[in-house]
Every structure is written in structure tokens, then in C-alpha cells.
Amino acid sequence: MNGMPSGRIALVDVNNFYCSCERVFRPDLEGVPLVVLSNNDGCVVARSAEVKALGVLVGTPWFQLRDLAQKHGILAFSSNYTLYGDMSSRVMRVISQFSPEQEIYSIDEAFLDFRHPPHLPWVTTGQAIRARVRQWTGLSVCVGFGSTKTLAKLANHVAKHNPQWQGVCDLGALASRDLESLLATIEVREVWGVGRRLAVQLSAAGVHSVADLRACDPRWIRSRFSVVLERTLRELQGRPCLGLETMAPTRKEIITSRSFGCPIYQLDELAEAVREYMARAACRLRQQGSVAAAVGVWIETNRFREQDRQYSPSATWPLVVPTDDTRLLTQTAQAVLRTVFRSGYRYVKAGVMLLDLRARGDLQQGDLLGVESAAMVARRAALMATLDRVNAKWGSGTLGIGSAGLKSDRRWTVARGKLSPAYTTKWSELRRVRA
DNA sequence: TCTGGGGTCCTAGGACCC
DNA sequence: TCTGGGGTCCTAGGACCC
């Protein structure tokens, strides 16, 4: 053993999550090369193993893959976030049965904390997690064990890329010599927290493998790079620096942005998009019980079109009284939009930001000034609650502010031409087993 | 023709204050 | 001619994550 403590952190991660979700309900697609595309069917955001083997990178524009797709029969799906979100919560529920201490880290990953050693080897626990998730959701996961989150991530990487581990790796079970030689085979870029830029800089300093990094002096890393990388290094060395965050954190900012289905030239259409995005952002703001003290808006032209005049302004305005009222937030956003809009440009994207968020109950300056009576506050809250209930039940956008989306044909909304059914969340779209 | 969306944290530098 | 020192707050930008 290499001196790691006997407790473990596990990182459970679904293999090819989006593609696998599509396959669960389309078993005929097993073995067929698949990709899932971003909004507007723009870029590849997920690839099946077959497509990874063809060397297709995440972020590749779909239109650049047409020939390759034709040649290899690659099938593309639009992002079906309703389906992925529902499958995600199923997976999270299943794995939470193995440890009460769970941090849901992303849509397809969670850390589990195992404080006490099990009576079985950790890999046995890992195999049990794999088997149950597979049986109950149809998805396959890999499990990595380590004494820190960074090591658990690394163990998961090892399990994922080396079939001999059968989907589960416990770095803590390795003799230190074996661990050392394993880490020497992994590029430093694979470490959680080492991105492309840092990898280049580390490489220039002679640090190429994970073993190289692990052998560095934390003080040198701190002075040469940053305290962030120092923490990563210490975690690699088995000293925990990152705690498990079992509660979903309240967001410090909320952003909603979308590329348009087609270019927009007019202010009123941009305003329509901004209203719709703000409706979504404000709903998420209320969900986490916050109010915003500032509103930001930006619009963008297509930076890839060199023949176009480029203009991508943004602006942020403070609010005198922080609020979660869609009406006030929307009014502000529209006013901000008017200050940055210039005609004569080909806009392809817009976004809104809610900034300087704080808890709804906190004492606010406006309260001191007595701007709103208690009755007004209550009425406002009731109205917003109704808005959220209606939109939750009948679909977001059912009830909106002012003329949100009613004026035009909304031709700018995202294109999702390759969308699969909402298999798990809509009665009318359930998979039919027999005709 | 067609190129995603949503976050976090840290650092450096300027403004400002005493 | 010579032009301090230290602290805080804010913002922009860079890096990272999925």
C-alpha cells in the first residue's frame, strides 16, 4: 500500500452520457457511430466510442463533418436536455444509495464519500455501483477511487481508458511502485485542473507526466503558477484540499444566452429574444431564492464571418432595489439593450446576465427607504409564484411579460431538427414496445 | 449556409483613502 | 531637482470545469 488513508472518495461518471441516453431508448443504435449536437445543431458536444475512434473532437462544427459522417454513417441528434436531465436524476438517485455523502458535480458525474472502510475491497463496491446503475437505468458508468477528489478523478480516467480495469480503479490499492509507474504513463493534461494552457507551460518547465507533477515542490508550483495549481498538486499527493460540496451551491450569477436560428437585424426582434431569455433567468433566480442587484445584456455578430462588420457590445446596469421580479428585470434588460444596439449589423446571438445576487431575505437598501409596503411585496411574490407554476406545468413561455414572443413569428428561436422524443417525461412520447 | 451554453476562482492593476 | 507607504475595493481578464 502507498500510505493513503483507508477512507475513499469515489467519482462516478457515466460513459458517453448524452449518446448513451439516446441509445437506452434506441437499442438498434448500439454500435452505430453517434454524435449529439449543441443548440442550433451547431457543434459536436458528445461522441460515441465509434466517433471518438474516428478522431472527431468535441466542438467540431457539424457542417464540417458532413463528408466524414456520410462515409461512416455517423448519426447526429439535437441536444435533448429534457431527456438527459431526467436520466441524470435517475442515475444520481441510484448511486446515492451507496453513500449519503454525495456531491453532484455535473449532469453526468458525482463524488461519493466513503469515510469508513468497507468489509470488501473498494473495487467490489465500485462493481456493485456499476451493476446497479446499469440494471436500473440502462447506462454504464466508470468508478474511480482515491483519497482526494483529484485522485478519484484520475482513477476514473484510468478506469475509463484501460479496459483491463473493467470500469473500476482504486488508486489507493496500488503498491507505491506500481502507482508511480502508472502515473508516469499519464499526461499531465489529464489531471483535473490542468487545462491546455497550463499543460503547455508545465511541459516547457519539464513537467510532462502526472508523476512529474506529483514530484514537484508545492512552493515552487505556487510561485511559478498559482495557488490553484498548488492545491491540485497537494491533492495529487494525497492531501485533501477540496471538500465535498453536498449542498447545491446558490449561484453567484445566472446567465441565459442562445444563438439564434437565423440572423437578426432589428431591435424589436432582439428585444423579444432578450425578454424570453430574461424570463428563464428570472425563474432560475427565484428557484434559488435570490434577488439580483445588477442586470447585464450582450449581443453578438458572427465572429467567424470575416466579411461581416463585427460588433459585440455588452453593458451592465445596477438596480436601485435588488429584485426577482421578471417585470422589473425585463424592463431593465430592454433598456440596457437599447443603449448598446446599433443598426446595420447581422446579430446571431444574445444573452442576459443576473449579477450581484444575494439572498431574498437579506436586508436591502430599498427596505430601509420603505419603497415597497409589505402588501406590495406579498402581491409581487404571489404573481411571480403563479408565473412559475403556470410555466412549470404548461411549458416555459406559456405565460410571459408584455408581448414576449407574441408579436413576430419568432423565426429566431433555436433550430433542433434532429431531436429525439422526450421518452421519459411526456406520456405522448413514450417508447412503444408493440404497435 | 451552417461554428454551444453556463459556471467558478484567482490575479493584477487601478482607484481611492488615510 | 527631489514626489511615500500601506490598505481596501473593484474590475477585467485569464484560467479552469462540464
pLDDT of residue A369: 53
| Residue A78 · residue A41 · CB < 8 Å | yes
Using the CB atom, is residue A359 less than 7 Å from strand B?
no
pLDDT of residue A3: 46
Give the pLDDT band of residue A399 (cuts 50, 70, 90): confident
- Rounded Cα distance, A135 and A94, in Å: 10
Which residue in this structure is represented by grid cell 502508472?
A: A182
Residues 6+ apart with CB under 8 A from A146: A4, A8, A9, A11, A152, A153, A154, A155, A170, A171, A172
CA dihedral A27, A29, A30, A31 (to 10 degrees): 170
pLDDT of A291 > 90? The answer is: yes
pLDDT of A116 > 90? The answer is: no
The DSSP letter of residue A398 is S
Of A90, A112, A102, nearest to A25 by C-alpha is: A90
| Nucleotide in closest CA–C1' contact with A58 | B4
Residues 6+ apart with CB under 8 A from A261: A40, A411, A412, A413, A414, A415
Angle separating helix axes A267-287 and A374-394, nearest 10 degrees: 100
Please write the tens of the pLDDT for every residue from A93-114.
999 999 999 999 999 999 999 9
| Three-class DSSP category at A384 | helix
Protein residue nearest nucleotide B6, by CA to C1': A255
CA of A390 to C1' of C12 (A): 40
| Average pLDDT for A63-92 | 96
pLDDT of residue A364: 56
pLDDT of A366 > 90? The answer is: no
| Nucleotide in closest CA–C1' contact with A198 | C15
pLDDT of residue A133: 98
Using the CB atom, is residue A256 less than 7 Å from strand B?
yes
| Nucleotide in closest CA–C1' contact with A259 | B4
pLDDT of A299 > 80? The answer is: yes
Using the CB atom, is residue A58 less than 7 Å from strand B?
yes
pTM as predicted:
0.93
pLDDT of residue A434: 75
Mean pLDDT (chain A, rounded): 91
- Rounded Cα distance, A309 and A105, in Å: 40
Residues 6+ apart with CB under 8 A from A359: A250, A289, A290, A291
- Rounded Cα distance, A275 and A353, in Å: 12
Give the pLDDT band of residue A387 (cuts 50, 70, 90): confident
Phi, psi for A5 (deg, rounded to 5): -65, 160
Per this entry, what is the length of chain A? 435
Report DSSP letters for A159-184, one per residue. Answer: HHH-GGGTTEEEGGGS-HHHHHHHHH
| Residue A144 · residue A11 · CB < 8 Å | yes
| Three-class DSSP category at A227 | helix
- Rounded Cα distance, A279 and A298, in Å: 16
CA of A353 to C1' of C11 (A): 16
Using the CB atom, is residue A293 less than 7 Å from strand C?
no
pLDDT of residue A415: 85
pLDDT of residue A398: 78
CA angle A179, A185, A189 (to 5 degrees): 110
Q: C-alpha grid cell for residue A152?
A: 478519484
CA of A258 to C1' of B5 (A): 7
Give the pLDDT band of residue A433 (cuts 50, 70, 90): confident
Please write the tens of the pLDDT for every residue from A212-267.
999 999 999 999 999 999 999 999 999 999 999 999 989 999 999 999 999 999 99
Q: C-alpha grid cell for residue A74?
A: 455517423
Show which positions of strand B are touched by protein (CB under 7 A). 1-11
- Rounded Cα distance, A37 and A39, in Å: 7
CA angle A213, A216, A221 (to 5 degrees): 95
| Nucleotide in closest CA–C1' contact with A226 | B10
pLDDT of residue A1: 43
| Average pLDDT for A66-83 | 96
pLDDT of A295 > 80? The answer is: yes
Which residue in this structure is represented by grid cell 444573452?
A: A351
Of A297, A306, A378, nearest to A341 by C-alpha is: A297
Question: What's the distance, Cα to Cα, between the start and end of chain A in Å?
Answer: 58
pLDDT of residue A8: 96
| Residue A345 · residue A286 · CB < 8 Å | no
Using the CB atom, is residue A105 less than 7 Å from strand C?
yes
Least confident interval from A34-38, A63-67, A257-261, A381-385: A381-385
Give the pLDDT band of residue A301 (cuts 50, 70, 90): very high
pLDDT of A417 > 60? The answer is: yes
- Rounded Cα distance, A132 and A238, in Å: 29
Give the pLDDT band of residue A397 (cuts 50, 70, 90): confident
Using the CB atom, is residue A242 less than 7 Å from strand C?
no
pLDDT of A363 > 80? The answer is: no
The residue type found at A219 is R
CA angle A204, A153, A187 (to 5 degrees): 25
Using the CB atom, is residue A24 less than 7 Å from strand C?
no
| Nucleotide in closest CA–C1' contact with A38 | B4
Neighbours of A14 (CB within 10 A): 23
Tell me, rounded to whole angstroms, the distance of Cα A130 from its chain centroid: 23
| Three-class DSSP category at A407 | coil
| Residue A315 · residue A296 · CB < 8 Å | yes
